[in-house]
Each structure stands twice: as C-alpha cells, then as structure tokens.
Structure 1
Amino acid sequence: MIYWRLSGFYWFYFAALGALVPYWSLYLKSVGFGPVAIGELMAIMMATRIVAPNLAGWLADHTGRRMAVVRCASFLAPVAFAGVLLGHGFGWLALVVALFSFFWNAALPQFEAITLNHLGPRVHRYSRVRLWGSIGFILSVSGLGFLFQRYAAGLLPLVVLALLFGIGVTSLLVPDGAAPPRKGAPRPLLEVLGRREVAALLVVCFLMQVSHGPYYAFFTLYLEDHGYRAGLIGLLWALGVLAEIGVFLVMHRLLPRFGARSLLLASLALAALRWLLIGAFPRHLLLIVFAQTLHAASFGVYHAVAIHLVHGLFTGRHQGRGQALYSSVSFGAGAALGSLASGYLWAGLGPSAAFYGAALVAGVAWLVAWRWIPAGGVPGA
C-alpha cells in the first residue's frame, strides 16, 4: 500500500532529524566546540538547503525521474556522513557536514512532490502521511535523551548513520507518482515568482525559519545550562512534536474550515509567543511545557499550510522547483541565518536574547503575511 511506503520514508527521515537537531550541538560541545563554532556548523547544515533542493528540483523536473534523484541523494548522504567518524577538527567537520547535508537536503523536497502527486485530489490529506515523520522524530529524540543521560554523546554519529541508511532503503520501495496533466503551456517560473502572493509567502517562510534558529541550534544546551537532565530535555522535544502530530491529524479539516491565510497568521503569532516564553521563563517547567505545545502551531500548522500553498501556486512542471524553493528559502537560507545569528547573540548578549530576537522576527513575519498575502488570492485561503 502506497500510504505505508510513503510513511516509511518520512519515519526514517525525521527520526534522523530527531537525532541530529536536538543533539548535534550536544555532540559538538562534547568534542570541544563553543557556541559560535556550533552556530556556524549548524548554519552550514542549513545553508546547503539553499542550493541542493533547487539543483535536485531542476534535475527531477527536466529528466522526469524524480524518485531516482531521491534514491541517489538518500544513499550518498550516509556515505558522506561517515566522515564524522574520521576526525573532529572544525575544517574537517565543516566539509563533512556540507557534503552530507547537501545530499540529505536534496531528497526531501522532491519526495514531498512525489507524495503530493500520489495523493492527487486528496492533497489536503498530506498531513496524515507526514505525521509518521513526526512519530519517528518523537521516538528518536525521546529515546536518545535517556541514552545520553547514561552514555556519552559520542554515540550520536553511529545512530544517525544507521537512520540515514534506513532512508535509502525505504526510498527503494516508493514508485514515482504520476504528475497531474499539464493544461496548456506552463507559465515561466520567473512569472510565477513575480506574483505578489508568491513573493510574500516566500518572505514569510524565510522569516519563520530565521525565528526557529535559536530553538534548533541551542534549545538543548539552553535547557542543560538551566539544570535540565538529558532525559527530560528529550521528552520536551518529543512533547513539541507530539503536539504537531495532533495538528496533522486534523489539518484536513482545519484547512477547508478556516482557510490557509487565517491559519498562517495564527501560527506566526503563536510562534512569537513561544519564543518569548522560552526566553523569559527557562526555569519554569510548566511554562516551558506550554511553550513546547505551541510547536503544534509554529511548525505543524505553518508547515502544512505552506506545503498546501506552494503546491497550489507552483503547478505542472514547476512543482518540484516550487517545493525546492520553499525548502531553500525557509529551511535553507532562513534556518542558516537564524542558527548563525543565534550563535553570535548567545555569545554576545546571552541565551535569552537569542529567543527574544526570534520573537521579534516572527512578529515581522506576521506583519508581512497580514499585509501582502490576500485572503482571496491564494489557493486554499
């Protein structure tokens, strides 16, 4: 059944993400790196998303062999990541991270396009497939939290390597999805990008991921510095993604009822609130728990709406490049800048300042969405 094949890929992909994002900074700290170097290495991992998805999208759109591109990238990623086992110098790790993340980041946007093509007219049910990625993330992040409470973070590269190979194996089980039939000549890509709502959406996605920079790069270290044990930190990460799953289960009802624009505005406002709470009240466990439940909005609602809008705005042969642009602009450029800036803010003004800055950026994103994304001019809004 295609549902389980698609879900299996998401499970391994986000289980690997659940090992890397929360604990990569912990691993880097264990081998001697400070906050600025950690922020720079995290930024490299994000920055390859600027280039890799677009190259993969161009190749997939022009060859028509989208799944072959996904498989190639999925198997090259663990081969490159194995270099982590060979050295701990900054230059060496920067090279390894750049190569590994290039292939890793190339795969997902093309797989998103394949998933949407398999779903066909039931595209609003994307979240029911994607939720298995969230389940993989939860099991990974919570399990590793307790593991690193007892054993050294030096085990992380071996765990990540095993999960990356799992991505490659599951990619072999998924066929190419039939692209929707083209109606007339496709609009030039530059013409699509020139539309006000398209440009505004990409700016909003960029700013949203800039605001996530301190969270993805330093949330684990932030909690550790305030006395939280690794097991509890893992559970807090898992709680956020559990809330995300709850949203994914009902997004196929929320989108038709409330519209994409309203949901996007709500997710941006709640993201700003989340970063303020984390920055101001790190020692108040109940408030941190509440802030983690807001991941349902700051990622779950936001991502489902963004995927929905990108699929509607980039049609026909531009689907692969549309998903690639979304990934590059937001999870690439936005996340890279957010990680880099948060490292400097952490070192210069203190950890809380990084989260206050994130709240400010999310607020600016809300203003852009409110002003330039029209309720009636965006598919599904």
Structure 2
Amino acid sequence: MHALPVWRLSGYYFVYFAFLGAFSPYFGLYLQSLSLSAWEIGLLMSQMQLMRMFGPYLWGSLADRFGFRVSIIRLAALVALLGFMAFFWLDRLSGMLVAMALLAFFWSAALPLVEALTFDHLREERLRYSRIRVWGSVGFIVAVLATGALLDVVAPRGVLWVCCFMLVGILGFALSLPEAPPLASPQETQPIGRILRQPHILALMAACFAMSAAHGPFYVFFSIHLADHGYAKTGVGLLWSLGVLAEICVFMLMARLTRRFSLRQILLASFAAAVLRFVLMGWGVGSLPVVILVQLLHGLTFGAYHAAAIAAVNRWFTGKSQGRGQALYSSLSFGAGGLLGALISGRTWDHWGAGWTYTLAAGFALVGWWLLWRWFVDSPAVDRPESVKNDDPVQ
C-alpha cells in the first residue's frame, strides 16, 4: 500500500506559505524604510511575478521530461535561500533587483511541482488535498502575526531574519519529501497544445490571469495602505490573518462544497466577491468593519477560487502533462497576471491614489467573471471533481 507522507507535505506547505506570510505583508514596509519610491517598490516586488511567468513552466517541463521533481524542489529551496541572504548586504535598487530575480526564479519553481507531487501521492483520495494544503494557510497566519508583533518592537530590517528562517525551513522539508511515481493516464501522450485549445481551458487561464492582476495591488500595497490610515503593524498582521482564517475555513469545507456546487458556480461566486472586495478595499479602509469584511472575502477570492481552479487544472492536464499544466496555471495567473497588477499599481498608486487603483483591480476581476460566465460551461465530464472513495465531508 502506498504510504502517504501527510506531515512532510503539510510541513512543506506550512513553511512555504509562512515565508509568504512574512514576505508579502512586510517586505514592502522594509523597502519603504530604505526610502524607495512606490514605483521602485512595485518594480522590486513584481520580480516575484515576473519570474513566475516562465520559471515554473521551464522547471515543470524539465520535471515532466526527466522525472526529477524532488531534486528540482530541493535545488530551488537552496538557491532561493542563498539569493535572499544577499538582502542583508544590499541597499541599492540595481543589486536588489538581481537578488530578487534570483530568489523569485528558484522559489517559484517549487510550488507547482509540489502540487503535482501531492496529487500523485494522494492518488484516488484527491479531495484530501485541501486537508494538506490548509497547513500552508496556518503557516501564513503564524508568520504574519508573529512578524507583525516583532516589527512593532524592532526595526523593519527584522523581516529579513524572519524570511531567512522560513527559507531554511523550506530547504529542510524539501530534503524530506519522497518522490511519487506519476499516475498512468489514457491522456498521457495528448499534446499540451491540444489541451490548451479547448475553449473552457482558455477561458479559465485567462480568468485566472485577470484574478491575479486584480490581487496585484493587494499584495504589494495593502499593508502600506493600512499603515497610511493609522493601523499599527500588529493590527495589519491581524487583518492579514483574518483573511487567511477565512481561507482556511473554505479549504476545510471545500470537499463538501464541490459535492454541492459545480466548479463553474464556485468560480463565478469567487470572482463576483473579488469585484466587491476590491472596491471596498479602495474606498472603505477608514472603517474597521468594512476592512474586516474585505478580509473575510479572501476566503472566496483566494481560497475557493484557488481550490476550484487547481482542481480543474489537475483534471485536464494529466499524465506527463501534469507538471506543465500546474506550471502554466502558476505562470499565467500568479506570474503574468500578478506582474501586470503589481506594475500597474506601482504607477497608479502615486498618481491616482489607492481608491482608483483598487477600483481598477475590481475591473480586472469583473473581466474574469465575464470570461467564465461566457465560456466556462458546466459539464459533468470536465467540471465535476473526481469521485471520492471516502465519505468524510472534510477531506
């Protein structure tokens, strides 16, 4: 019987997203402490998305061709750690761009391969994915709360030590992950170009691009937005954590939700929630109840959206195309879409202000909703998740 490495996979997700929990909310504040402009901060942070445009697909193609997934995951963890350590000595934009690009190129390589590895370990129990992936959300919350509390008593430079510690943890768990043989599939030899030409897949990829573009100003400027309106760093951490708590709740309920609703219904609800969320984020930040609602909507705009999107990608890209399918999802959405959102918000933040920057983000989400409504059609063959052997509703 196949031994499922639940805690090693869960531990990897925990430290991987703990790094993100320290990096995304607070690294921008560290850059701001170096007197960098909004454009320079946006340019630096956008390297994470830029490298995700082509890095994951390159590494995914190598993994699909040669089968060295775990080796690539370990190499990525090591080089990402070395790249990030350069920030301890850098304070000029040019050098920081090189270090950020190196970090991002290797850091972005790992997650799509770990996603594919997780599904291959799960085999017929794929709805247990949310139960494993939820530990990433837990790690994010622990890191965002602890880092926020730390930065209330130490200089912003403290975020460098926290992020470095998390990257060491990623390397440790990467060294512990076992390989799993890819599952055989009747579609194993289907060319990836033929898969991508299907209208519902094109619609999903384009919509995911739009959703990540919508989240660009959130990930780059939300902490700065809150700090500019008088929120303490501990409060910023609590608000980020609230969003991830909502995400955790959705992940825990996802197996039940996918039995009751189609992927199309879940995705349309998620995109509609994103339109509302970003409008409120831009214009309602002065009201704490509104900001709380904004963060609770993260359960839909990321939790439900990501779980439904990755389930569709895992169903459509099978066999030897699986690594590239996950990489394409990551590259087109978090990579290209996130890059566009980060760069545009870096330009509009100073000129248009936060309100109109987040309104533009809501516009991206609305475009994604329309793409799904128009072309992503319910079909039992492609739109329902796999049957489940275990009747436990929280897998």
TM > 0.5 fold call: yes
Compute the TM-score of the two structures, normalised by the length of structure 1.
0.98
In 1, the alpha carbon distance for the partners of 2:281 and 2:126 equals 34
Structure 1 residue 178 displacement after superposition: 2.4
Q: Which residue of 2 aligns with 1:172?
A: 175
Q: Which residue of 2 aligns with 1:183?
A: 186
Gapped runs of 5+ residues in structure 2? 386-395
Q: Which residue of 2 aligns with 1:199?
A: 202
Per-residue CA distance 1:243-266 (angstroms, 9 max, x = gap): 100000010111121011100000
1:380 aligns with one of 337, 360, 384: 384
In 1, the alpha carbon distance for the partners of 2:359 and 2:376 equals 25
Structure 1 residue 185 displacement after superposition: 5.7
Number of residue pairs the alignment of both structures matches: 381
2:98 aligns with one of 95, 103, 117: 95
Q: Which residue of 1 aligns with 2:17?
A: 14
Q: Which residue of 1 aligns with 2:143?
A: 140
Amino acid at match of 2:242: L
Determine helix, strand or coil for the equivalent of 1:33: coil
Q: Residues 375, 143 of structure 1: CA spacing in aligned structure 2 closer, same or farther, 3 A cutoff?
A: same
Amino acid at match of 2:363: L
Structure 1 residue 150 displacement after superposition: 1.3
In 2, the alpha carbon distance for the partners of 1:249 and 1:50 equals 30
Q: Which residue of 1 aligns with 2:348?
A: 345
Q: Which residue of 2 aligns with 1:65?
A: 68
Gapped runs of 5+ residues in structure 1? none
Determine helix, strand or coil for the equivalent of 1:121: coil
The answer (yes or no) to whether the contact 2:51–2:104 under 8 Å persists in 1 is yes
Structure 1 residue 378 displacement after superposition: 2.6
Single out whichever of 64-73 and 17-26 deviates more from structure 2. 64-73
Q: Which residue of 2 aligns with 1:262?
A: 265
Please show how residues 326-365 of structure 1 align to structure 2 within 5 Å.
326-365=329-368
Q: Which residue of 1 aligns with 2:392?
A: none
Q: Which residue of 2 aligns with 1:118?
A: 121
Structure 1 residue 380 displacement after superposition: 1.6
Q: Which residue of 2 aligns with 1:301?
A: 304
The answer (yes or no) to whether the contact 1:124–1:308 under 8 Å persists in 2 is no
Please show how residues 18-29 of structure 1 align to structure 2 within 5 Å.
18-29=21-32
Please show how residues 145-164 of structure 1 align to structure 2 within 5 Å.
145-164=148-167
The answer (yes or no) to whether the contact 2:213–2:361 under 8 Å persists in 1 is yes
Amino acid at match of 1:219: F
The answer (yes or no) to whether the contact 1:197–1:378 under 8 Å persists in 2 is no
Is residue 5 of structure 1 aligned with residue 11 of structure 2?
no
In 1, the alpha carbon distance for the partners of 2:240 and 2:31 equals 19
In 2, the alpha carbon distance for the partners of 1:379 and 1:316 equals 19
The answer (yes or no) to whether the contact 2:274–2:362 under 8 Å persists in 1 is yes
The answer (yes or no) to whether the contact 2:15–2:139 under 8 Å persists in 1 is yes
In 2, the alpha carbon distance for the partners of 1:327 and 1:226 equals 33
2:35 aligns with one of 27, 32, 36: 32
Structure 1 runs of 4+ with >3 Å offset = none
Is residue 41 of structure 1 aligned with residue 44 of structure 2?
yes
Structure 1 residue 184 displacement after superposition: 6.4
2:370 aligns with one of 363, 367, 370: 367
Q: Residues 42, 235 of structure 1: CA spacing in aligned structure 2 closer, same or farther, 3 A cutoff?
A: same
The answer (yes or no) to whether the contact 2:282–2:358 under 8 Å persists in 1 is yes
In 2, the alpha carbon distance for the partners of 1:194 and 1:203 equals 12
In 1, the alpha carbon distance for the partners of 2:94 and 2:282 equals 32
In 2, the alpha carbon distance for the partners of 1:37 and 1:345 equals 13
Structure 1 vs Structure 2 CA RMSD: 1.1
Is residue 314 of structure 1 aligned with residue 317 of structure 2?
yes
2:284 aligns with one of 281, 284, 288: 281
In 2, the alpha carbon distance for the partners of 1:320 and 1:185 equals 12
Single out whichever of 177-186 and 5-14 deviates more from structure 2. 177-186
The answer (yes or no) to whether the contact 1:313–1:379 under 8 Å persists in 2 is no
Structure 1 residue 182 displacement after superposition: 3.1
Determine helix, strand or coil for the equivalent of 1:150: coil
1:208 aligns with one of 207, 211, 214: 211
In 2, the alpha carbon distance for the partners of 1:222 and 1:333 equals 24
Q: Percent identity?
A: 43
In 2, the alpha carbon distance for the partners of 1:146 and 1:158 equals 14
Is residue 128 of structure 1 aligned with residue 131 of structure 2?
yes
Q: Which residue of 1 aligns with 2:84?
A: 81
2:56 aligns with one of 53, 58, 65: 53
In 1, the alpha carbon distance for the partners of 2:192 and 2:363 equals 32
Compute the TM-score of the two structures, normalised by the length of structure 2.
0.95
Structure 1 residue 322 displacement after superposition: 0.3
